[in-house]
Amino acid sequence: MLTFCLTALLVLAMLLSLGWGAVSDTEVIGALLAVDGVSVRDRTIVWDIRLPRVLTGVLVGAALAVSGAIMQGLFRNPLADPGLVGVSAGAGFGAVLAIVLGASAPFWFQAMMGYYLVPLAAFFGGWITTLLLYSVATRNGRTSVATMLLAGIALAALTGALTGILVYYATDDELRDLTFWGLGSVAGANWQKFWSAAPLIIICLIAAPFLARSLNALALGEAAAGHLGIRVQAMKRIAILTVACSVGAAVAVTGGIGFVGIVVPHLLRLVQGPDHNRLLINSALLGAVMLLLADAISRTVIAPAEMPIGIITAVIGGPFFLWILMRNRSLVDL
C-alpha cells in the first residue's frame, strides 16, 4: 500500500514540476501528447527544458536515497550517509578533476569518452573513497560508526583540499560552473547530461533490490549472515560498488546534494520497519519525490531566480540529522 501511495505521489510531483512556470498545464499536456496546435516554443520548453530536468531530479533523488539505505544497512547504523561520510566529496573531487583537466586530455580520449567522462570520474572518486572509508572503519569484521564518521570527516577534508587546488587552476568559465555545481542543482539539466548519468544510475537502481535479502541477514551480524548462506565479503564489495556508481553519477550531474540519503531511509524505517525488500524500493520513490519538491521550493523562494537545491536539502536535513543523532547517541559513543 505504501509503495502504491508513493508511486502515485511521484507521478503527481512529476506532473506538477512539468507544469510549474509560465506555460499552462493544458499546454504542457498538449506538448507531451504531441497535440496539434501547440506552439514550437511550448514544445521546446516542455521537451528540452522541463522534462530532462524532472527526469534528472527523479533519478538523482532515487540514487541518493537508495545509496543511503544501502550504506545504513551495510554499516548497520542509521547515521551512515554518502554525503556525511565523504563519499559524495570523493565523487565531487573526481568530477572536478574531469572538468578542470579534461580539456587538456588528448583529443581522441575526449572524443571517446564524450559526456561520460565526468560521471565515470565521479564514480571512481566515490568508489575509491568508499573503499578507503570501509577499510579504515572496519576491524576484525566489525565496523565502528565513530571511526566511520571521523574517517569520513578526514576524507571529506582531504578531497575538499584537493578540489580547492584544482579550482585554483581553473579558468574563469570553469570556476563559474564549479561554483554553482558545488551547491547542487538540476537547473542546468539537459538531455545530454541526463543520458550521460542515466545508464549508471538505472543499473544501480535495478541491482539494489537484489541486495535486500543480504542486507536483512547482515542486520543480525556478519557471523549470522554467513551461517544463513550469505557471502558477506562479496556482498559488501557489490554494495560498495553500487553506492559509488550511483552517487558518482548523481554528483556528476547535479553537484553536491546532501541529506537525502539519511532523511528518506530513516523516515521509511519509522513508517514501515527495517525490511530492505520494501525499504530500497520505497526509498527510490520517496527520494525522487523529495528532490522534486526541493526543486520546486528552490524555484519559488527567490523567484524569478533559483536557489540551489543543496541549500534546501541542508536546511531540512541538518535539523533532522541532529534529531537522529540525539535519538541514537549510544551508537556514536567513543
Domains of the chain, each with CATH number or no CATH = 2-327 (1.10.3470.10)
Could you please report the per-residue DSSP string of 72-131? HHHHT-TT--TTTTTHHHHHHHHHHHHHHHGGGS-HHHHHHHGGGHHHHHHHHHHHHHHH
Structure confidence by residue, pLDDT tens digits, 132-178: 887 887 777 666 666 777 888 888 888 888 888 888 888 777 777 67
Residue 48, C-alpha cell as written in the block: 528540452
User: Is the predicted pLDDT of residue 29 greater than 70, yes or no?
Assistant: no
What is the structure's pLDDT at 215?
92
User: Is the predicted pLDDT of residue 334 greater than 50, yes or no?
Assistant: no
CB-based contacts of 312, cutoff 8 Å, min separation 6: 294, 297, 298, 301
Residue 198, C-alpha cell as written in the block: 542515466
Could you please report the per-residue DSSP string of 190-251? -HHHHHHHHHHHHHHHHHGGGGHHHHHHHTT-HHHHHHTT--HHHHHHHHHHHHHHHHHHHH
Q: What are phi and psi of 311, to 5 degrees?
A: -70, -40
Strand locations in the chain (E)? 138-139, 142-143
Residue 85, C-alpha cell as written in the block: 561520510
Which of 269, 275, 287 shows the shortest CA–CA distance to 328?
269
Structure confidence by residue, pLDDT tens digits, 241-252: 888 888 888 888
At position 274, the amino acid (one-letter code) is P
Using 50, 70 and 90 to split pLDDT, how confident is the model at 97? confident
What is the structure's pLDDT at 200?
86
- Dihedral sign (CA 145, 148, 149, 150): positive
Selection from 63-67, 85-89, 229-233, 309-313 with the highest mean pLDDT: 63-67
| 330/132 Cα distance (integer angstroms) | 25
Share of the chain above pLDDT 70, in %: 87
| 17/81 Cα distance (integer angstroms) | 27
